Amino acid sequence: MEERVIEFHLNARTGLSPYQQLVQQVRHALRLGLLKEGDKLPTVKDVAKQIAVNPNTVLKAYRELEHEGLVGARPGVGTFVTRTLADGTLAAHGPLRKDLQRWVTKARLAGLDEESIEALFMNTFRNAAGEDVA
């Protein structure tokens, strides 16, 4: 079985605390099928070193995921995915991802930087969802 490893990153612009960002990244990976049941998460020590946070921050994120029933800790072995969030629409992700990648490429060619692309996407997403946008 091929081992999938999630690589965490922090973004100060999200407005989320580091531990919330870690939880969100695992949830997204589970929803997109990037992590599957049985996959091992990186060790607390490795994640703390990789993204330069206190190990307690990583531990807090892993505990929240465990409380939600998404991962389980095995003392001395590691933390493993126990449940996925992917659903039957996962097959549709491939073509949609390619369309979105093409769109991002066009946005970059038009001179937009990462923050502008994100702002444009989120504004469009919220409008499509019927939310009020500032």
CATH of the domain at 75: 1.10.10.10
What's the domain range around 74? 18-81
Q: What value does the mean pLDDT take over residues 78-105? A: 83
Q: What value does the mean pLDDT take over residues 30-40? A: 91
Residue with tokens 């946005």: 107
Q: Is residue 4 part of a domain?
A: no
Q: What is the DSSP letter of 133?
A: -
Q: For the full predicted model, state whether its pTM sits above 0.85.
A: no
Q: 4 is written with which tokens? A: 């999938």
Q: How many residues does the chain have?
A: 134
Q: Is residue 117 part of a domain?
A: yes
pLDDT in tens, 90-100: 666 778 878 88
Of 81, 99, 117, at which residue does a domain stop? 81
Contact 82, 70 (CB under 8 A): yes
Question: Do residue 77 and residue 100 come from a single domain?
Answer: no
pLDDT, residue 133, reads 47
Contact 70, 26 (CB under 8 A): yes
Q: Is residue 103 part of a domain?
A: yes
How many domains is the chain built from?
A: 2
